[in-house]
Structure formats: C-alpha cells, structure tokens
Structure 1
Amino acid sequence: MVSQQPEQLTAAGISRLAGVTRATVSNWRRRHADFPLPSGGTEANPTYDRVAVEAWLAARGQLPERSPMDELRAELRGLPREVTADHLSAFLLAVARMDGAARRKLIGLSDEEFLARIQGPLEERVGLLPHARRDGLTASAVPALKTVLRAVNASGIAETLDVLHERQSADGTARGVYGTPEVVADLMAVLLEGTTYPASVYDPACGSGGLLIAAGRQGSASLIGQDVSPVQADQAAVRVGALVPGSEVRIRAGDSLREDAFPGLAAEAVLCNPPYADRDWGHDELGYDARWEYGVPPKGESELAWVQHCLAHLEPGGPAVILLPPAVAERSGGRKIRAELVRRGALRAIASLPPGAAPPQHVGLHLWILRRPADDRADVPPVLFVDTAQDDLPGTLRLTTGSGKTQAVLAELARSALGKGEIRVLTWKESPHDFRRTILQHWRRYEEAPEDFETVPGVARAVPALELIDEGVDLTPSRHVRTAPPAVAPDQQAESARATRMRLRRAADALVAVSGGEEWKPGGAKAATWRTATVADLMRGGAIGLHRVTGASRGRRLTEPVVPPDGDGRRVLTAGDVVADRTASGSAEESALTELLELQRGDVVLPEMLHGGAGTARVVDDRDVGALLGPHLYLFRPDLDRLDPWFLAGFLAAEENLHSTATGSTVVRVDARRLRVPLLPLEEQRRYGRAFRRLTAMRRAANLAVRLAEETSRQLGIGLTSGSLLPPGD
C-alpha cells in the first residue's frame, strides 16, 4: 500500500467528529496537556492529525460509535493508489444487481475468493463509465470493496453512492447549473406518459442522472445522457446503472451543443434541465447548425438553443419536457423562435411551478412540454398554460414566504382556526405534490381534447396559437390564465372582509397570550453545560429505540412493497408532513413501504435530510397515532420513564446538533446515531420539554397572524379597487 499524507482536521472538524461545540474543543486544548499538538495550518487556525485526534478521543470515550458509512469514509481516506473511485463505482454497479443473500455470502469469502468472484463483473461494469481507468485490481483493494459492501447492506445503494461521490468535486461546475429535486424530476418523467411509456429517454445535460433515474423508474428501457463535466457523467453512469439496474445505460461526457455525442439519435422522449443564462454556449461557432430549425438562437438565449437541441433528438411525434427559467417565456430576444415553436405546433404547454419547488429557490420555474411535429399540420393545437406559482382565487390563503423550515408550519392550525369550508389554505411546501397533481390533472384533460379544454379561471387555460403570436409572444402562464376575480355583491364582500378581520384579531390575541407569561431568565454568569450521550449510547442502554423504513423502487421494483389490507385506511407520515407540521398525507401504496411501522404517542420523528439547511422534530400526538412511518424519516421511541419526548425533540433538532452529524453537499443527511442528548433528571427534562412545546406554539401563532394579516389586507384591497367597499371614516 502506498503511504498517504495524514489527514488534517481543524477545530471545527474535531467538533463535528466528536459531536461537541468548538468551545469544548478549545477547552480540551487548554486543559489537557496530552491533547495532540498542531501538525499544520497557522497559529490562528491550526490543524491536527486525524489519527492522533481519534486516538485521543477514543481513549476518553468521546469518539462516537462509527456507522458503516463512517467506516466507508475512513476507508476512502486511506485508499491504495491503485484503487480508484472508478473501481469502487463499478463494484457498486455490480453489487446493485445482487440480492441481499448474495451480498452477505460475498462478504464472507476470503480475500482471494472475493477477488476472484468479483473480478469479471467489475471489469464488465467499469466499461460503462465514460472516463474510467481499466486497471486490474489486486488483493489490496479487497478491504475497501468489502467496506462498500457493508455500507450497501446497512444503508442501501443510494446513500452509499452519496458517500462515494462526496469526495469527487465537480470539475467546472458552470454558472446557472442546478440539480432537479426528486418531486420535480418525477413530475417531468410522468408527463412523458402516452399510450405506452417511451422506451428510450435522452437527457443532454444529465448532471448526476436524476431525470434519467425518474424515467427509468417509470419504465424506460434505454436511458441516454451527456454532461459537460466528466465527473458528473461518471456519477450519472453509476447512479442510473445502480438505481435502475434493468435499463440499458449510455452516458457520455462532453458539451452537448458543441460536441454532440449522439448526433444521429432520435429518442422516443427527452427530459432536460439545461444550464441557464450561459452566454458562452457556442453561438459564434454554431451559427449555421442544422439543429436551429426554428431560428438561430441569439447569444443571450442559450435556453432556446437547448430547446431546439432537444427537439432535434426526438423521433417525429416524440415528447420533450424541459425545465426553464421564466424569463425564457418573455425575453424580447427569443420572441421569433417562440413564435415559430407555437406556429408549427411544437410547443404544447407551459406550466409554472411555485417558488421554492426547484433551485434557484426564489424563482418560480417553468415546465415546457414540447412535441416534435410529425408533419406540417394546418390544424395547430392550442397551447395549454397552467399556473401553480400563485393562487389568488377568492377564499384562498396561500402561504408562500418564509424559510423551508417555517413556511406553511401553520396550515393545519389555520384550518382549525378558520373553520372548514370557510377558506382554503395552500402552500407548496405543505404538500409538494399539490402542484404536481394540478399540472398532471390539467395536462391529461388537455391531451384528451385540446380544442375542448375547459378554462379554469386563474389556474389553467388553452389558448389558440393565433392569439399568442403577437408583437411580444409573451408565453408567461400567469398572463394567460389570470382573469379578473368573479363579481361579488358589495354586501358579500363586506361580510367576507369582516369575518377575515375577526379571524385576524383572534390570531393576534392568541399570539399575545402564548408569547406572554414569565420572563426567560439567564442561566447564570456562564451558559449551562451538561454531560451528553449519543443516540447510539442511549440505544445500548435501552433508553431509546431508533427505527427507519424504506420505500421500494418504483417501476422495476427491487423490493416488493408491503401494502395494508384493503380498507385499512391508515395514512403515511411523510418527511414533507413533518417539515410542514401537518397531519399524515401519504398513502401506503404510493409510498411503496417495505415495512409497516405504526406511530405511537410519545414517538419523536425527525427527517433524515435537512431542508433549507435546517431540521425539525415532531412529537407524535393524537393526530398521528396509528399512522404509518414513511421513508426518509427517523423514528425515536423513548422509554417514557427515562426520557421526555418534547425534551428529546428539542435537543435532537438543535441546529448545532444536526449540523455536527450532517454529511453531503447537495443532499444533506443527518446521522441519527451520532446526535447527542443531555443527561438530565426526568423532572428537569420535563421543564425543558414544556419550554420547547411553548416555542412551537409561539411559532405557529406568530406565522398564522402574519398570514391572516396579509389575507385581510388583500381582501380589503380587492374590495376598494373593485368598488365593493368604501374607505372607512376617520
């Protein structure tokens, strides 16, 4: 084995490793003469040898128990030079096609038998990676490969892939390049559905393969992609091959516009989330390219170059779904190309997503649904516009502002306070499938009879092509679906406004009540500190149980889901439910659970992934009891004679606690076993538990008051501008 440079840790790295604060690390350095001396860095920011730090922490019982993922990270830090990330990725592709029994049998083999068994499959799989080294492996690779296998057995293919790719920095990540969230990728893949699902799907800017995975899970047999980043292309090949093992996968590296790896390809369908606002896309050298069938894209319209590239790689009649920024629908530079897309029937629909549905979070992106014309049709169908970015219909309260953690946390409380049927409370965060259902519902109705599509005021409308080809060719959905609010009698408007004002007053009174009471006193001259234990320690002591369930892969399922008996009626608590603080909204069939775990009073549920850089924990109460635990959630089941649930939830969800165990960059996961909990007497726990419960009530009341204030001002403003209400007297 070739010697490796010792890994260095900063003080912040030591705090994350030990699950303590940086102040604690500083105290160790000052108080313990045997604390490892700095081995690098600067005087202001020293670094320490990781091996020496781990040995020092282990000798004092401060080193948390390492999970299989921790073991994998440690193994990756000391890989022999002849073992590359390509070898590990190819090995992961090979084991993805094995069942659990075969994996367990493989890990029990001797090193020689192990190497002989996997050499052939590994060499075959490494050929699927666009830039992989083809070097053979020696016995020195076996420990790393077995560590990968243990990680797969413990946490699954997807999480193991995340760890393998953590250390591979994206080379040349361009401005305007964003990942596609799973819920949006799934929506785009479903929009390709016809009488049969497309057998071949192409993504010319595939990134790490999210859209191709979504298409594969829907049933596509041939998945083809290209990405300008060699690292991303390799990751896509591994992810798609491992997570959709039944499909043929062809991934290439290179710039799809300048260096098209599939020039003669005519796929049955295309999915794409291309780079945005790229002025160096090749305008000068590609001016006479045959792909510009609808017009030469101006230098500032790179997105319309990608649109035409996608259409050029479709068979006649094939569909494409492309995620684009809203400016593409209205910028003056692209109006001629937009007009031609409409005139020839290539553009079929544009649907706007709510802000936050996909990065960049502050922008409501558009989904363009296109179809390559099969011929020069005289009867060009109307274009469907769907707007889910806002919902200003009367009687609707939409929660659209705030961080990922706080947005929509009040929806359920709002429904209770406002009364059923009086007002509709909406937010995309509350249910990420709301916009998905809306878009699919109207698209399917449009597909059945485009000419007869019935307008839904403020939400969906099919517009004849001739109406769109005006001076600006503005294809922004809100422009075409927004209509004046239905006429309301002045007395009805006044009564509605009065009722909303009364709700606002009640919410304000509730906020004053919950935020009052005794003062929150300082803990003393210095902040209080406690002895803590990790969740793993508490599990060994029987104070807590930790549970997770997984969802079976859709499409070609690797594991068959367990479905409750017909008529069971139980819902599934999803990660979105916990983030939005709403009742369980999922179904066992849609979640494809591989295990049914029923929630009990006093359970604490925490999302596996951080949302918007923050986390939230939920204590199971009457509304949750009997529901089933969904995927991507940790369930902590405390011994109620030893741990208070609200105390546990408050400390588990502490920002410092979560970030000290979080891993990953694009998807940030929490290692639940390493979370730390103070060791306090039960009565003291309950004092803290009551305080955490009060904070939750305060947040709910404050946000409800803000949203109702906005709704009240909106209704009064509509009444004044429509002539239904008169200004009040002085």
Structure 2
Amino acid sequence: MSKSTGAPPVFVTLAEIARIAGVGRAAVSNWRRRHETFPSPVGGTDTSPQFSLSEVEEWLRRESKLKTAVNPLDRLWPEYEAVGDRDATGMLVAQVGLRLSGTEKAAGSSAGSELDQRQARLLERTLQLAAGDDARKTFHSLLDRWLRTHVRQITTTPGRLANLMVNVASLSRQEPVRTVLDPACGTGTLLSAAGRQWGDAGKPTLRILGQDSDRVLVELAKARLTVDGFTESGLSNISLAGGDTLRADAHPETAVDVVLCSPPSNERDWGHAELATDPRWVYGQPPRTESELAWVQHSVAALAPGGVAVLVLPPAVAARRAGRRIRAGLLRAGVLRAVIALPPGAAPPYGVGLHLWILRTESAGQGGAERAELTLVDTTHAIPPAAADKVGVNWSAVTAQVVDALSGMSARGSASVPVVDLLDEQVDLTPARHIPRTRAATIVDLRRFWARFDGHLSELRDTAGSLSELVPVDHDETVPFIGVDELERAGALEIRAGQGLPEALVRRGERQEDEARVLTGAPLSGQEQLWLSASDVSKGEQDGSLTVTASQDVIVSVLARAFDVRVDIDAPSVLGPQLSALRVSPAVLDPWFLAGCLRAPANVQRAGTHASTTSRIDLRRLQVPRLSLENQRRYGEIYRKITVFERELQDMKKVGAELSRSLGDLLVAGRLPRA
C-alpha cells in the first residue's frame, strides 16, 4: 500500500531497530559507532535517541544488515507508537482484534467511532497485512507489544497462573459452570482461561461477565475474548463494562458460579467512607487500608449457592492486624476454604510470593454448616535452587502440589488446620506459619522475610515522612485546658471503671465464635488470650457486674507504672479492675484526640501520685486542650499515625528477629555465599 503524502514521520528507538533487524541492541550500538553512514538521531535524548524509520530501513537494506525477513507487524509497530498516548494506541489495538474477529458490533465496542483518519488508515493497513494470516496470532502479537510498552502502568495475570486458578476453581466446584465473573478483568486473561476451561462444545452456554475501571483495558478484553473464538463457538453472551466495580457494580443482580479475580492492591481511595453501610460487608466493614478484603467480600457477595471464588492477593492480607476480624468472620462462616502461598516469580510483583484465596458458598439446601478445617498450601519451594536468582517457577510442581492438597491427598507443604486453632488474636492465615518445616530456612524464606521487612519499612517510612513534616508551632498563646472531671460533668464523656472478673467463667486459649476478649491490665496489647462467652458477657452487662466496651471507647490502664491508653477498635472487650473505659459523645469529643492527649507524658506526671509502684492514675485529674471538634479530629488523625508508627516499629522488630534467625540458619547450614 502506498504511503500517504501527508503522513507524519515515524520514529524508532535503538530497541525497535534491533527488533526490526533481528539482532541485539548491543549490535545496533556497535553499528552507530563503526559506521559513519548510520542515520543520525532526529529526536529523543542522548540516552534514548530516536531515528527516522524510513532512513533506518534504507540503511539496513543498503548495508545488508537484515538477517531475517522483517515481520510486517514489527515494521508497523512504530507507527502504532506514533499514534499517540497509551489509550489511543490501546484503543486501536482493540479495534484490530474486533475487526479481525468480525464481531465489532456484537461486542458492543465504541472504539471504532473514536479513531481519527490516520488511525483508521493504519487499521486498514494492519487488516490487509493480517489477511491470510492467523487473526488470533496477529492480535495477540500487537497486544503483547502494547503491554510490554506500558508494563509499568499495567499489571497483568500471567497465563500459567490463570490456568492454575481455573484448575483450582474446577476442583472446588463439581457442578457445571454457566456463569463466570472477573470484577477487575484488565485485558481479560482470566476470562479467556475460563472460556477455554468451561466453554467447550456440548456444555451449556457460558456467560462471561467482567468489569474494569480502565476503559481501554475493557475494550482490549472484549477484543481478546472475541479473537479467542468464544463468539464463534456459541459463547456470545459476553458482558464487559467499564467503571469502578466497588462503587458502581455493573452486574449487581447477577449471581455467578465462579469468580476469578486479581484485584488491585494497596488502594486507599476505594470508597471506604461512602460504602460504609454497603450490604456486601457481611463479615465486617473493610478498614480503609484493607481494600483487598473489600474485593474479597464483593466476590463472595456475587456468588450463587455453591459458587467458588479464586482471588490473587498480597501475602500481607493473610496477616495484617486491621483485617483480622474479617478473616475470622470468613473462617467462622466456612466461606474461606483454602489459602495457597505461591512462590516468588509467579506474578507481578515478582519478588513477592502472592497468595491464592479459595472461597466457596454452601450449595442450596446444605445450610450454613461451619467447616472445621482450613486447607493451607505452601508452594514457595517449588522453585529450583539453581534458578533461585532468576526467580523461575516450576509450574508443573506447583500445580501438582496444589491439586493433591485440594483433592484431599497427602501433599508436601500442605496441611488441614482446625479453624479453632486459627481464631486467635492475629488470625494469621499465612500457610508457612502453620505448616511444619523439615529443613533449615531457604532462599525463598529469606526473600519472604526481606519482603515483609521492606513492607514494614515502607509503611514506617511513609508514616515517619508524614509525621516529620509536622512543624511545632512557636507562639506565646496559652492553650486553655479542661479536665476529664469537667468533661464528665458536662456529659462529654462517661467513665466506666473495670470490675472483678468471674474467674471460673474466663476461658484461656484460642478464641471461639461469639466470645469477647477479656483485658486484665497493661500492656493493652499482647496480653494472654482470655475470653468470656457472649451469653456471660450479655448477662454481666445487664446486671452491671461486668464493664463491657463499645467501639471507639478509650481504654485506660490506671496503674502509674504501666499507664497505657488505647482506642478500642475490637469491641466488645471486658475490662478488669485495673482498667477504665471512657465513652465519649462524638458530637463534642473525638476519641482519638482524647486518647492522644491522655497518653501524653506530661499528663501522667500531673495525674500520678508517685507514692509507690502501685500508685494509680487519677483519670479525672488528666487534662485535654479545649479545641473545636474540627481541630480535635485533625489532631486525632495525627495520633492515629503515631499509633501506626509505633505498631510498625514493633512489627519490624519482630520480622527483623525472624530475618536474623533465618540468616543464622543459613549460616550454620553453610548456605550463605562466602564474603
């Protein structure tokens, strides 16, 4: 096809030249140094120069540097990159797929109407080049090039992991699969794998549903599913939508058989406040820092009776303190069936071993019988030692281990752990913590601990950065204070002193369903696990013999030698005689602001008698600044960050100790490199 006279020039980089010539980039750099006739850069920078494609092609032919026949798509790709930004190029690639499959209108795409004249010409040239060739191969070649170009902006699920997830779902669901959903579908890798698994001829028509906040990825997913032949095999019921799934679910009334999802992680702006009363939060409202647990509960809510959800999640979701109540709820309900730890390198970020969570709802008529055990699988050693530095994954070994474990067979690195053993203070579902180890720490263990250490360090750095930006105000204004006793008289708070505990009824060990935590003194965290049944707590609260907290109560340890303050986010808690609860009126007093002020060392000195080591703090003598509710909340948020700072310091110390032990094990085993 002849070139359009008004077409803008196409530029290529050294990497593109190497691909067109079929050589390495180092060879192209050598050509530039050794050949004075090599084309001069026409743009870019000194470190990343750009060259005219037409001049480069002419020079390659003249110097006989084309070792292989040029792939027409390689020749054409620089023109795709010259189209514009990521979105424009992605829309054009999607339109190629829809046109090649002949299902542009059936797929409901609007991409074609958005192409300008230049893009439309490039589309027609691509279709002509693809004529007589494999349409699927052409589209996937363009899609792969687009994904590689924007690899830092887009995270995709590797095909081998997608196949594993489909196999896991098949093992967990025996009934036919008629509907599959991916609420964060991206470019459709998981939906395509589902179509190959459950869309064979002779089976009921598979309905494929998906949604993603990135409209370009949705168009590419539509093109992928149609190019992969699902419309030709009768799988025409494809419904993919753009939009924020958590805030605006495109399929709210549809109950599906299978959910496959690799949701976005570490999101803070996912709708925590506006979705506070959402009915999907059956197992508890996800904290703002636990967006992944919002996706978990969304997926469970989308399941039909007997449905299965398989999600890829960061390993921290299994252990983070903020999510332990939701994890406990999923365990008690019998919804969470298995947690599988994958080796590093299975999916991006490749340096972290991600987890698969398998969730299943009870089939109709089965009721809500609680499952007694959770299956845990640790595949992190399915990586050859020789390939450890290359982060390679032995997918055959991983798949075999997972299939054996989920099929009830005895498999190395797996265990069925009683749910009651998991319902402790941490509700830590990390497989490695519950599966007996038979050898010294490995390279993978070391990587895991370093990943956890780096995670705490990153969180600590972020929090410290935020706190370090706070500049103390230097002024002569006297801030007025008000005592806790005055606040009590004004009705701004109520003081509830802890009481003696019914020792015969207090149970030690792991928490069971509907039990309330018993606190006996300081420190307020890390105490022995003591519990009271819900019926005993209710009875004691009614007759006034027990002091039971409500959410956001401020708990204070009143012993001077062990003074401590904490906002109770795990209510209800039963308080012993050395503790008190301050219940605030939220219309006039912020609990976090109050806790931060009460905990100040100056307050302790003011309110303590220091007569002996058994001195008690007189709560009513403690003081707080008189501030507006708006300023209280601002200071309360600062105190929240301070508590996060303290917690991350403690957690990093624990992980650092584990890291030191692992290094010691490797050292003794002679498995560390010589200095």
TM-score range, shorter chain: 0.5 to 0.7
- Cα displacement (A) at 1:76: 4.2
> 2:414 corresponds to which residue?
460
Match of 1:235 among 210, 216, 220: 220
Change (3 A) 1:137 1:398: closer
The two structures have a TM-score, normalised by structure 1, of 0.52
**In the alignment, structure 1 residue 478 sits paired with structure 2 residue 478:** no
- Cα displacement (A) at 1:244: 4.0
The 3-state SS of whatever aligns with 2:269 is coil
Determine if contact 1:273/1:324 at 8 Å carries over to the other structure.
Answer: yes
Structure exhibiting the larger radius of gyration computed from Cα positions: 2
- Cα displacement (A) at 1:151: 3.7
CA separation in 2, counterparts of 1:44 and 1:137? 32
CA separation in 2, counterparts of 1:244 and 1:87? 20
> 1:316 corresponds to which residue?
305
> 2:179 corresponds to which residue?
200
The 3-state SS of whatever aligns with 1:223 is strand
> 2:389 corresponds to which residue?
403
- Cα displacement (A) at 1:271: 0.4
The 3-state SS of whatever aligns with 1:268 is strand
CA separation in 1, counterparts of 2:124 and 2:355? 43
CA separation in 2, counterparts of 1:54 and 1:13? 11
Match of 2:140 among 161, 165, 168: 161
**In the alignment, structure 1 residue 124 sits paired with structure 2 residue 115:** no
CA separation in 1, counterparts of 2:81 and 2:329? 54
CA separation in 2, counterparts of 1:278 and 1:169? 24
**In the alignment, structure 1 residue 441 sits paired with structure 2 residue 427:** no
> 1:69 corresponds to which residue?
73
**In the alignment, structure 1 residue 382 sits paired with structure 2 residue 386:** no
CA separation in 1, counterparts of 2:90 and 2:384? 46
Query: What do the CA deviations read for 1:263-291 (whole angstroms, capped 9, x no partner)?
Result: 22211110011111112222122111111
Determine if contact 1:348/1:383 at 8 Å carries over to the other structure.
Answer: yes
Query: What do the CA deviations read for 1:133-171 (whole angstroms, capped 9, x no partner)?
Result: 437999996884464364475465145333156358999
CA separation in 2, counterparts of 1:271 and 1:461? 24
> 1:216 corresponds to which residue?
195
CA separation in 1, counterparts of 2:301 and 2:149? 28
Query: What do the CA deviations read for 1:579-628 (whole angstroms, capped 9, x no partner)?
Result: xxxxxxxxxxxxxxxxxxxxxxxxxxxxxxxxxxxxxxxxxxxxxxxxxx
**In the alignment, structure 1 residue 357 sits paired with structure 2 residue 346:** yes
Determine if contact 2:214/2:242 at 8 Å carries over to the other structure.
Answer: yes
**In the alignment, structure 1 residue 27 sits paired with structure 2 residue 58:** no
CA separation in 1, counterparts of 2:73 and 2:180? 33
- Cα displacement (A) at 1:467: 2.0
Determine if contact 2:268/2:288 at 8 Å carries over to the other structure.
Answer: yes
Give the counterpart letter for 1:68 in structure 2: P
The 3-state SS of whatever aligns with 1:201 is strand
Determine if contact 1:344/1:376 at 8 Å carries over to the other structure.
Answer: no
> 2:477 corresponds to which residue?
none
> 1:265 corresponds to which residue?
254
Give the counterpart letter for 1:345 in structure 2: G
- Cα displacement (A) at 1:328: 0.8
**In the alignment, structure 1 residue 58 sits paired with structure 2 residue 61:** yes
Query: What do the CA deviations read for 1:389-420 (whole angstroms, capped 9, x no partner)?
Result: 138xxxxx96276333xx7xxxxxxxxxxxxx
- Cα displacement (A) at 1:479: 1.9
- Cα displacement (A) at 1:54: 1.8
**For the aligned residues, what is the CA RMSD?**
3.9
Give the counterpart letter for 1:209 in structure 2: G
The 3-state SS of whatever aligns with 2:358 is strand
The 3-state SS of whatever aligns with 2:368 is coil
> 1:307 corresponds to which residue?
296
Runs of 5+ consecutive residues of structure 2 not aligned to the other structure: 200-205, 441-661, 671-675
> 1:48 corresponds to which residue?
51
> 1:288 corresponds to which residue?
277
Paired positions, count: 425
CA separation in 2, counterparts of 1:265 and 1:170? 36
**In the alignment, structure 1 residue 178 sits paired with structure 2 residue 149:** no
CA separation in 2, counterparts of 1:291 and 1:332? 21
Query: What do the CA deviations read for 1:287-339 (whole angstroms, capped 9, x no partner)?
Result: 11111111000111111011001011111221101111111111111000000
Relative CO higher for 1 or 2, CA cutoff 8 Å, sep ≥ 6? 1
Change (3 A) 1:444 1:479: same
Query: What do the CA deviations read for 1:649-708 (whole angstroms, capped 9, x no partner)?
Result: xxxxxxxxxxxxxxxxxxxxxxxxxxxxxxxxxxxxxxxxxxxxxxxxxxxxxxxxxxxx
The 3-state SS of whatever aligns with 1:335 is helix
Percent identity between matched residues is 35
Bigger shift: 302-311 or 242-251?
242-251
**In the alignment, structure 1 residue 3 sits paired with structure 2 residue 6:** yes
Query: What do the CA deviations read for 1:552-600 (whole angstroms, capped 9, x no partner)?
Result: xxxxxxxxxxxxxxxxxxxxxxxxxxxxxxxxxxxxxxxxxxxxxxxxx
Give the counterpart letter for 2:216 in structure 1: V
CA separation in 1, counterparts of 2:330 and 2:261? 17
Change (3 A) 1:318 1:341: same
Change (3 A) 1:257 1:60: same
Determine if contact 1:287/1:296 at 8 Å carries over to the other structure.
Answer: yes
Query: What do the CA deviations read for 1:235-282 (whole angstroms, capped 9, x no partner)?
Result: 111112211423232111112112222122211110011111112222
Match of 2:335 among 331, 337, 346: 346
Change (3 A) 1:292 1:28: same
Matches within 5 A, 1:542-557: none
Change (3 A) 1:149 1:225: farther
CA separation in 2, counterparts of 1:70 and 1:44? 23
Determine if contact 1:68/1:151 at 8 Å carries over to the other structure.
Answer: no
Change (3 A) 1:77 1:349: closer
Determine if contact 2:10/2:82 at 8 Å carries over to the other structure.
Answer: no
- Cα displacement (A) at 1:59: 2.8
- Cα displacement (A) at 1:197: 3.7
- Cα displacement (A) at 1:132: 1.9
The 3-state SS of whatever aligns with 1:402 is helix
Change (3 A) 1:243 1:141: same
Bigger shift: 351-360 or 47-56?
47-56
> 2:97 corresponds to which residue?
92
Determine if contact 1:72/1:148 at 8 Å carries over to the other structure.
Answer: no
Runs of 5+ consecutive residues of structure 1 not aligned to the other structure: 97-120, 392-396, 408-427, 446-453, 487-709, 719-730
Match of 1:189 among 147, 166, 169: 166
Change (3 A) 1:244 1:219: farther
- Cα displacement (A) at 1:191: 1.6
Query: What do the CA deviations read for 1:20-71 (whole angstroms, capped 9, x no partner)?
Result: 6244333356x33xx5455445678764322123223323323453123234
CA separation in 1, counterparts of 2:668 and 2:33? 58
Determine if contact 2:39/2:56 at 8 Å carries over to the other structure.
Answer: yes
CA separation in 2, counterparts of 1:282 and 1:140? 37
